[in-house]
Amino acid sequence: MNRYISNADFEKLVDEITRQVMASMPTAAPTPTSNPAKPAAPAHPHSGGCGPDCCECKDGRCVRDCSDRVKLVVNTGAGRITSGLGFIPRDLSIARYIDHTLLKPDASAAEVAQLCKEAREYHFASVCINSAYVPLCADLLKGSDVAVCTVVGFPLGASPAEVKAYEAQLAIQNGATEIDMVMNIGVVKSRDIKALRHDIGTVVKTCHAHHVICKVIIETSKLTDEEKVIACQVAKVAEADFVKTSTGFGGGGATAGDVALMRKVVGPDIGVKASGGVRTYEEAQAMVKAGATRIGASAGVMIVKAERGEQVGASTAKY
């Protein structure tokens, strides 16, 4: 889509796409299923279902469709595989989906250090922490395969776009390699598409100038389905790398239904992060099945242990 389309035309386009998406929605949202047996490895719904004889490895489809070939490359020594952000190899462990998260306001330096230690041990995708701890995490995770993710405009999203962009800029200078921004929920409620486009686009532009991933938190618990569709459309046009369900502090968390809706709106080429209230392996699997390519969780260790069949106790983690 032309990113320089006029705001008036863009608003009309958003309205039309929103009507189409809402008209095609099922009457009931998908619900997670529970199975006492250990589920199979994550199978992304957009992986194409390619069998062993149909993969020609053109245009990056090996990563998307041929998990056996990707595994061979990784086992040979590759540390990173290029793919669209919307796709995850089917055979990767659940750990590589997880942003290991500690965002409570009273988190201590010792707790953050423990978070980093666990992230190194279990090879989580990232640690997600408040920005004051970015320098500490960047130092503790140096040389590892774990990214440093922080949040801006957190948790309300109501600060000006330029303030969020400055937060992002400072965090990046301190070592952050991924930024999760909270969009301005009020402008969505006001249907001010121009303001929302500015809010998201300003932060995305700052992140991409430094080759840093930007995820947009839309806070699904505060939105109607129609507003979720609008928010995801604007984030996609603003060239965000992910849309994310929740802060975990907004009175609700991720649901498989919301993840499926977000995936439907943004398509296969950008990521969807399910965050807030994902505490078990079965819940994580349900999010992946619905279309999530990243999961924000403070119970990451328990989720991975459950995947491995290890004994886990009751979760005391707080997102």
Q: Is 180 a catalytic residue?
A: yes
Enumerate residues 6+ apart whose C-beta is below 8 A from 61.
48, 50, 55
Q: Is 273 a catalytic residue?
A: yes
Q: Which residue among 164, 222, 228, 273 is the active-site one?
A: 273
Strand ranges inside the chain, DSSP E: 98-102, 126-129, 147-152, 178-182, 213-217, 242-244, 271-275, 294-297
Q: Is 65 a catalytic residue?
A: no
Q: Which residue among 164, 222, 236, 244 is the active-site one?
A: 244
Q: Which residue among 180, 199, 241, 258 is the active-site one?
A: 180
SS3 track for 137-203: HHHHCCCCCCEEEEEECCCCCCCCHHHHHHHHHHHHHCCCCEEEEECCHHHHHCCCHHHHHHHHHHH
d(C-alpha 173, C-alpha 160), whole Å: 20
As annotated, the active-site residues are 180, 244, 273
